[in-house]
Structure formats: C-alpha cells, structure tokens
Amino acid sequence: MATERPSETDSGPETGRASTASAASAEDSGRVAAVTGATGFLGSALCERLLAEGWTVRGLSRPTSDRGDLDNVEWYVGDLFEPETLRSLVDGADAVFHLAGIGLWSADADTVERVNREGTGNVLDACRAGDVGRLVFTSTAGTRRAVEDDEFATETDIAEPIGAYQRSKATAERFVDRYADDTGCGGSDSGGGGDAVTVHPTSIFGPGDADFTAQLLSMGLDRTMPAYLPGGLSIVGLEDVIDGILAAYEHGESGEHYILGGENLTYDRAVERIATFAGGSPARLPVPATAIHAAGPVAEVVGTVTDRQLFPFDRQMARLATDRMFYSSRKAHEELGYEYQPLEAHLPAALEWYRTECQ
C-alpha cells in the first residue's frame, strides 16, 4: 500500500420496471446489482466493472441522461423521487450501490440538500419494502476532517459540515447508519432496516471526469495555466475506488464506514509529477491563499444580491480549499484488503481521455 505520509510538505425497459425477459435473464446470470447514479463518472465505471465480472446490472437513469456504451445494463428510467421505480430497481438485488447525488456546481443549495438527503431516504425506503441484499452507500471524504492541518483524517474524525453538499451527505450517512442499526424488518412504516456500509472516497482521478481530473491535468500540462492551488489532497484512482466499493460489499461490516483514499499530495507535488510523467509544463506559481479566502465573502454577497448561488462556495468553503485535506485508508486496508496505486498508475488512461476530449 502506498504511503500515507504527506509528500513534501438503451437496452432494457423504459417504464421503470424490468421486462419479463430481463427478469428471467437476471435469474440466469448470478448476482444482481442495482446502481443509482449509474450514468455518472463513478457509476458508469462501476457498471462496466460489474458487467465484466458477470453481474446482472440494473441502472437508474433519468430520461435525459447519456447512458454511453452501457448497452447491457437493464435501465430503470426515473429518479430518486419515484418510489415505484426505486422499489422495482432494488427488489431482488443482491447488492444496491447507491451513488446518485448532486453537487453545488450543478444545482442550488436547496436542490443539493433535497437530492442527497431525501433521495437517500427514498432509496432506503425502497430497500425496506423489498427483498434486497447489502446496500453500499458512496458518500464523501468531506464529512471527515483532521483536527490539525498536518494530520490524517480517519473514519472517526467526523467534521462539522461546511456547505450544503457536506451537510446533505452527512445527513444521508446518518440515515444509512440508522438503517444498518435497525434489526427490524418490513416496510418503511415499520422502521425496518438492513445490511449497509458506507464508503468515503477522497478526490477521484480518472478518465471521464471533466471537473477535478481535467483541472489537475491542466495544471500539469497546459502552458497557459500559470498557477496551482495551495494546500493538498488525497488523490485516488477511479479503478481503486471501484475496487474499494466492491470490497466493502464483500467484506465490510454492516454499519461501518471506510475511507477510500490514495496518495496524500500537496498540489505542487501532484502537478510536478504529472508534468514529469507526461512531459508537460507544470504551473509554477501558487494561487495566494488570501485570494481564495477573499473570494468566499464575494461569492456570498453575489448570492445574496441575486438570490442565486452563482458560485458553489462561501467563506468557510474557500478557507477549506487552501487546507491540506489528507486521509488515512488504514481501516479499509486492514478490514477490506483495500489497496491503492500511485498517481502515475492512473495517468495513461486519464491522459488519453484528456487529450482526446479536453484539448
């Protein structure tokens, strides 16, 4: 396992129900997985892995979502607020992988809270009402934070949420914990629960991610990108996270939480390593932390004046962006057998995608 020490410093039904033929094929194909967020960056990659390993995969997709090349997924068309669709999706599944969620770049704070919090509650209600196996909930490492800047956060370092995204994910985690703690049975009205674990990926790096991955690569490759961010973070490869999610399904203890992290790197060190590997031109100057801190109050004022959150952060989130957000994956390593690879192991696939799709 890589060091945790800081480095220098449409195939399928369209109605929300599986067809009779689909249901029959599921019985003949071994294990069945239900995946929410199946068209997203992480969810689509998880579906590909599950299919490759012989699972029958049911995916939740909104009508307008791009399903890519996932032709062998049984699509259940709907969203997290359609109870009948959710019940059909999860009933009879050996595993429910709940990845669906939304961030502040894509929606206003109220929508983020509703989708991440209430949407998770609706998935749990569907699981209570059906015959399901283990639920694996993918949350965020952002709900954990070390007390000191030079320490590693663990699963026990529960943080005071900053912003609507962290707040909604923290609440969703409590819903899942309550579901796992309840040994009752039956539908949602009876308060029954089931088998569930929660995983906390750190900053996921891999092809198909037009946000974090594209931005980090641009800092290491693009000559027009002069500056990198201060602070640091835990960078984990997409395939490593999928390994961790599946390990949590196979080996995790119900009710437990597992951080799925990678190398803890300062931004300048990460950018330098990308440039060295790819022959790029790394950003040479750090963005002053004071400039980022100053942007927080400005974003708040703009939001107040326009009654819209035009920028997905406030003064607390701006300050957090300059910290070293380092994490330990020791618990996942010891209990799940989780391993992660260094940044360079994930660069070939990410670079091929970036040069094809982003440049």
pLDDT score for 147? 82
- Across the chain, mean pLDDT equals 83
Tens-digit pLDDT profile for residues 5-51: 444 333 333 334 343 333 334 444 489 999 999 999 999 999 999 99
As given in the structure block, the two tokens for residue 62 are: 């909104």
Cα distances from 156 to residues 106, 187, 258, 259, 327, in angstroms, run 30, 31, 10, 10, 11
pLDDT attached to residue 280: 82
pLDDT of residue 15: 35
For the chain, counts of helices (H) and of strands (E): 13, 13
- 354 lies in some domain: no
Reported confidence tier of residue 157, pLDDT bands at 50, 70, 90: very high
Amino acid at position 311, single letter: F
Q: Domain for residue 1, yes or no?
A: no
pLDDT one-digit tens code per residue, 90-111: 999 999 999 999 986 678 889 9
**pLDDT tens track for 220-273:** 888 766 566 678 899 999 999 999 999 999 999 999 999 999 999 998 899 999
Give the number of domains in the chain: 1
CATH no. for residue 173?
A: 3.40.50.720
Under DSSP, the state recorded for 189 is G
To the question of pTM greater than 0.85 for the whole model, the response is: no
- Six-digit token pair at 287? 């963005």
Question: Quick check: is 227 in a domain?
Answer: no
56-61 vs 32-36, strand pairing mode:
parallel
Residue 178 lies in a domain: yes
Whole-angstrom distance, CA of residue 185 vs CA of residue 287: 53
Over range 339-354, report the average pLDDT: 98
Lowest mean pLDDT among 24-28, 182-186, 323-327: 24-28
Q: Is residue 290 part of a domain?
A: no
The band of 192, judged by pLDDT with boundaries at 50, 70 and 90, is confident
According to DSSP H, which parts of 307-341 are helical? 315-320, 330-336
C-alpha closest to that of 350 among 165, 139, 203, 200: 203
pLDDT at 109: 86
Identify whether the C-beta of residue 330 lies closer than 8 Å to the C-beta of residue 234. Answer: no
Task: Tell me the β-bridge partners of 56.
Answer: 32
Residue 194 domain-assigned?
A: yes
Of the chain, the percentage scoring pLDDT greater than 70 comes to 75
Q: Are 312 and 105 in contact (CB under 8 A)?
A: yes
Q: Which pLDDT value is given to residue 291?
A: 54
The answer to whether position 252 is within a domain reads yes
- The whole domain housing 212 covers 20-222+234-264+328-345
Q: Is residue 310 part of a domain?
A: no
Residue with token string 């699509």? 75
